[in-house]
Chain A
Amino acid sequence: MKTILSEQQLSLTVKRLAHQILENHLQLAGTVIIGLQPRGIFLSDRIVNELKTIIAPELIHYGKLDITFYRDDVRKSLHIANKTDIPFSIENRKVVLIDDVLYTGRTIRAALDALLAFGRPSHVSLCVLIDRRFSRELPIQPDYTGKVIDTFISQKVKVCWKEKDDREQVILLDS
């Protein structure tokens, strides 16, 4: 087991990601934030909380997207769906998708597909906490990255959040 981000590093990284998003989306004008269920939500909640300390909360449009019904392996293994909550139109908006770990890219592929059911965004960018580069199966790259790491397929990245796992850190597990 190896620690990739400690609690303090994780908190700094979240702050940085929030600021980077704001750099490119001033006042979030015409921009919406969408976190991916289930585990991307913990990161997107934190980024949104951070954004609220910098700009007026009413400028932030924040939704949650579940991609279960859009998976490409839906018949091979059963996945239980989580709540989707996008209470606004994304038509002609800029969307920032947020997930915890970018690995094969298949989740993001499904998310792009799912997103179109809510309208046609003018632009979509991707923000992830951990980018496991060199393990992509699809041509998908992040625009905002917390940390880039090199891993073997046999290894597992675990992102721990206080609400779920009682502590706040990112670790790499050898199986």
Chain B
Amino acid sequence: MLSFILRRIFQSVLVLLVVGLVAFAMFRFVGDPIDTMLGQERTMEDIDRLREVLGLNKPFFIQYWDFLVRAVQGDLGISYRQGRPVAEIIVERLPATLELALVSGFIALFAGIVLGIFTAIRRDGWAANTIMTVSLIGVSLPTFLIGVLLIYGFGVGLEIPLPFTDATINTGGMPTFGRGDTVDLGWWTTGFLTTDGLRSIILPAITLGLYQMTLIMRLVRAEMLEVLRADYIRFARARGLKDRAINFRHALKNTMVPVITVTGLQLGSIIAFAIITETVFQWPGVGLLFINAIQFVDIPVMAAYLMLISVMFVCINLIVDLLYVAIDPRLRVDGKTA
């Protein structure tokens, strides 16, 4: 058990070091920092002096080490485009992304589990079949297209004629741009405390959560179907337990292990796919920052985002791994041999 945890932590550190190396190499080799910082009028002495100040004359791995030390201390360089420290920009943008990820993760988990149970219990019902077919289309639909279609349907709105009257009803009117009104709590800006902010998060959160929702739904359904065939469920039925007790107390509990793993791992991709959603809805989070950085080749921001997201990913993977062992006792026995 302990060796398993230690090995996992060692692997995580290795991943972070490699990502750090990639980020550092971007700094060092994509464009010459001396070129960027000194203007046209420069002497060889200027170049040498700046090289000395920036430490560019040191061996590669010493520079890499310095870079890592600075990154850990929160010094991620200065954005080429905005001329401000990257760490400051990211801290400012992070709340928007995290709130979006939180809401969409919640939607995905809640709706995914409910629909998954429903489609598993009513396996051959028409409603369950319809949900399964629609979900197949949902998987093929690229995230950005979902966002655009939601904007079209609920932002711009469609005129739907009311039956038996001449009047039409417009489905639009939802905010589709930015976070709406936010409240500044000093170190955190939140959209949860204003109606406008809450309304603004609905469409982006659905866009972001839809794919994850279909994934969780299919997983819960598959696991439920598997578990419902098991002997102990048949035994529970033979004991005359109510369907509700069997489905929720016995079956659901045993489907949760893979669901937790997948949900945890999906949390990482929610943050990554937030890039797309944020661009569609002009949501001022770190994803939009990253896309703009790519468009304008703002290397420090790109490198910082890369490191930030890999720290998140590695932590999530590590926690999920540990959680997995904690939840499933069978793995603890195997842990010794694995």
Q: Do A and B come from one complex?
A: no
Listed in ascending order, the chain A residues whose CB lies under 8 Å from chain B are: none
On B, residues with C-beta under 8 Å from A are none
